[in-house]
Amino acid sequence: MDTGNVLTINTKEKKLYQGETELIDISKALTPQKMEFMKAGGSYAIVFGKKLQTFAAKTLGIEAPVVFSPSKEISHEGQGLTAVEKIFNKNAVGTTPGLILHAGSDLRVKVNIVGSQDTTGLMTMQELEAMAATTISPVVDGAYQSGCHTASVWDKKAQVNIPKLMKFMNDFGLITGRDPKDKYHPMTDVIHKVLNDLTVDDWSIIIGGDSHTRMSKGVAFGADSGTVALALATGEASMPIPESVKVTFKGTLKEHVDFRDVVHATQAQMLDKFGGDNVFQGRIIEVHLGSLLADQAFTFTDWTAEMKAKASICISQPDTLIESLEIAKSRIQIMIDKGMDNQKEVLKGLIAIANNRIMGIRSGESPPLTPDPNASYHAEMIVDLDIINEPMIADPDVHNDDISKRYTHDVIRELSYYEGNKDIDLGFVGSCMVHKGDLKIVSRMLKNLEETQGEVKFNAPLVVAAPTYNIIDELKSEGDWDMLQKYSGFEFDDNAPKGAARTEYKNMMYLERPGCNLCMGNQEKAEKGDTVMATSTRLFQGRVVEDSDRKKGESLLSSTPVVVLSAILGRTPTMGEYKTAVQGIPLTTFAPPVEAMSA
């Protein structure tokens, strides 16, 4: 497509035209429900009409008459359910009583957790005002408004928009990163990490205003501002049940390999197994991680957005899920102690939900979510950990002639491919892909290198941004923050936040304010033409680094140890240098479940 092309959607013929030329049949996209939206002049009237009708029928104890376009219901007798099919059946609204629904069904579902971020949040606010909504639906267990996308620079634009957004959302009933009355310290925590803590039930459905709404408990969907607004106002969302791809693991992960390398290996092995076809795209990735806690598992579920997967579900073992819920409870309690709960005591209510979930798991009355043994999948794959011998670096394929394969068909290379000769201009440890363990790795690598070399000198800038304030507090109590402070040339100051974006970087470590930072590229970027090594999600062309006259900007993705060492050396490390630097450091380890996890 070229700028200026005019396309015509013919809703009667259900075809797409450019002038008189027919381009494609779009009948599959124009479902009865979408045609109904068009006839009504928008979705609001239909969505609220269905909700009112369902409520009235339930109150009167009668079956709702068929007025709206009926939902597409697909049921296969004798076929088991995948994890997402189980969640959708449990949360279904207005479907045929007693009918078990499978992938392809189109239905309304109850939404448990909703997240709004600060760049699309202003549009969500406008959507809520347009529908005359004044308060959050009582159906929703909890909702959060973040300030992470504008965390790096507190410029005049942010100073005008963000307080206005926070006040509206706080009044609406959301927990907000900033208190309109300044009763608690402003927090710029990454929205996905907060939602991962607020999700306290593995049967939950989460809707968030960002593509990386990918919790490691429940099933989470990134959505547009209108869908987020409807979820907040009605406690519901309408969508089809997606197909699933089952991912399991075998083998043993080597001590010097990080879990981020497993993530990259999953993509490489998937593309190899399916002949270069991205089977994850548009589907649920049901990943059987078993013993990996929610914080670490989020590295995998978060990455699934880059595969253009619809969502991801993490299948956990009972003890692991309980420990993850206990961690979530402790962090929610910290939010309460800081004064972030509201009059409805939403955060207190989430702790109660978590306690009930833990009791159900321990008693055996409500075990962790698992698929049925006879569930049907679009595809299945086993990731072989034994063949992951080195750290892996992903080079986003931004110049692929097939646009659909850009970023989802990375060139995955082992560290030794670069032979220690690839110059690195900047390293970035941050974004929603990292957790507390990653920051501890940074601290312990600095200590290791200090003991072996006497001092640590950076030959390239290293930008470090913790995802949340809670993580920083935990690092301080555990002694790791002191080491980071020792080697930092800059540390964020909430009392004097930056008012302008940094344009140049020195060869030192920057401890930036919690938030998205360089990953977003909307406020700060690397210097033009830089080669960046990052733990980030997906560094789209021009997003974190733009081209310069001398060379194209380049972004590579790797684990925290590789990023840190690359910044210290100013180049990619050799395998010998890497192993020395991580010796004795517990990386994010992972062992596959011994037994198959199914109900």
Q: What is the per-residue pLDDT across 341-376, written as a single tens digit (0 to 9) for each? A: 999 999 999 999 999 999 999 999 999 999 999 999
Q: For the chain, what is the mean pLDDT?
A: 92
Interval 435-483: pLDDT, tens:
999 999 999 999 999 998 888 999 999 999 999 999 999 999 999 999 9
SS3 288: strand
Cβ neighbours for 450, distance < 8 A, ≥ 6 positions apart: 456
Q: Do domains 82-240 and 392-582 have the same CATH topology?
A: yes
**Six-digit token pair at 68?**
């709206």
What is the third-level CATH fold of 392-582?
A: Aconitase; domain 3 (3.30.499)
**How confident is the model at residue 26, as a pLDDT?**
95
Interval 67-98: pLDDT, tens:
998 889 999 999 999 999 999 999 999 888 89
**How confident is the model at residue 141, as a pLDDT?**
98
Least confident of 185-189, 262-266, 573-577: 185-189
What is the third-level CATH fold of 82-240?
A: Aconitase; domain 3 (3.30.499)
* DSSP code string of 466-485: -S-HHHHHHHHHTTHHHHHH
Interval 232-253: pLDDT, tens:
999 999 999 999 999 999 999 9
Q: Which CATH architecture has domain 244-383?
A: 3-Layer(aba) Sandwich (3.40)
Least confident of 33-42, 126-135, 396-405: 396-405
pLDDT at 395 over 70: yes
Interval 492-539: pLDDT, tens:
998 888 888 888 999 999 999 998 887 777 778 888 889 999 998 665
pLDDT at 542 over 80: no
Cβ neighbours for 165, distance < 8 A, ≥ 6 positions apart: 118, 121, 122, 125, 145
Question: Which single residue is written with the structure tokens 């995955």?
Answer: 412
**How confident is the model at residue 33, as a pLDDT?**
87
Q: Which contacts qualify for 484-489: CB closer than 8 Å, 24 or more apart?
A: 484/439, 484/442, 484/443, 484/446, 484/509, 484/511, 485/511, 486/446, 487/446, 487/456, 488/464
Interval 302-342: pLDDT, tens:
888 888 899 999 999 999 999 999 999 999 999 999 999 99
Cβ pair 129, 472 in contact under 8 A: no
Amino acid present at 550: R
pLDDT at 28 over 80: yes
Q: What is the pTM of this model?
A: 0.93
**How confident is the model at residue 153, as a pLDDT?**
87
| 213 — pLDDT class (breaks 50, 70, 90) | confident
pLDDT at 202 over 70: yes
| 126 — pLDDT class (breaks 50, 70, 90) | very high
Query: CA angle at residue 594 from 579 to 298, to 5 degrees?
Result: 60
**Domain limits of the chain?**
82-240, 244-383, 392-582
Give the integer Cα–Cα distance in Å for 102 and 242: 9
Cβ neighbours for 455, distance < 8 A, ≥ 6 positions apart: none
Cβ pair 483, 447 in contact under 8 A: yes
**How confident is the model at residue 267, as a pLDDT?**
93
Cβ neighbours for 243, distance < 8 A, ≥ 6 positions apart: 103, 104, 282, 283, 284, 377, 378
Cβ pair 94, 106 in contact under 8 A: no
Give burial (CB, 10 Å; 0-12/13-18/19+) of 161.
middle
